Chains A and B, each alone.
Chain A
Amino acid sequence: GESVGLHLPTLSVQEGDNSIINCAYSNSASDYFIWYKQESGKGPQFIIDIRSNMDKRQGQRVTVLLNKTVKHLSLQIAATQPGDSAVYFCAENNNDYKLSFGAGTTVTVRA
């Protein structure tokens, strides 16, 4: 089965508010984590990544937090916009050839 999962399958957020998407992983050997955004009918697009030697990384309007103690990963989106509506996946890589994906969280932005 999948080794990476998500706490909530859907998230509805008011435009302008911050979004937090959570992900749990089970493989303590994983050393690289990625968040992807998938719009309807398209392939996943890279958002941000983080290595296991870090606990926080920031991008443009996005922040990824990694808590290795509880094997938890989160993606924070600041000032959520309508264009942020999509399915978000976390993925992990334990330095083998396979990238394992969680089930995804559907984010819907309310105007």
Chain B
Amino acid sequence: SQTIHQWPATLVQPVGSPLSLECTVEGTSNPNLYWYRQAAGRGLQLLFYSVGIGQISSEVPQNLSASRPQDRQFILSSKKLLLSDSGFYLCAWVPFSGAEAFFGQGTRLTVV
């Protein structure tokens, strides 16, 4: 069966520090991968998605970047965090276009 791993679960980082959140999927190949951000009490905002190794599409201009170095690995990064980067970050995978998304457990990021 397929599983998605996302870590860490919580993170407190100072303003200006770098960020690296990792997501991996097991039990499937060539998934579509997604990073979403959720502000407190709000909906899910799509940040990045990838349909293959090295392919990244950005939905919202921001202080973040994403990379997909391997088929089942998706990384969210920042060189210098801002206070506004605080939020709940969710990684998701979709087996093919037009299918449901499966989410990781999320990372609660607090920038102080």
Contact = CB atoms under 8 A, between A and B. Distances in A.
Contacts of B90: 43-44
Interface in B27-69: 32, 34, 36, 42-44, 46, 49, 51, 57, 59
Interface stretch (B14-22, B76-84, B101-109): B101-109
B98 A44 contact: no
Contacts of B99: 32, 93
16 contacts: A32-B98, A32-B99, A43-B104, A43-B105, A44-B44, A44-B103, A45-B103, A49-B100, A93-B97, A93-B98, A95-B97, A97-B57, A99-B46, A99-B92, A101-B44, A104-B42
Given A41-B108, A99-B94, A46 B46 contact: no
Contacts, number: 58
Given A93-B98, A96-B97, A101 B43 contact: yes
A85 to B, nearest CB: 15
Interface string A53-82: 000000000000000000000000000000
A101 B43 CA distance: 7
Interface residues of B, number: 26
Residue of B46, B92, B101, B105 with most chain A CB atoms under a 10 A cut-off = B101
Interface of A: 2, 31-32, 34, 41-46, 49, 89, 91, 93, 95-104
A44 B34 CA distance: 13
A1 to B, nearest CB: 10
A97 B32 contact: yes
B49 A97 contact: yes
Residue of B36, B98, B104, B105 with most chain A CB atoms under a 10 A cut-off = B98
Contacts of A96: 97
A91 B32 contact: no
A9 B42 CA distance: 10
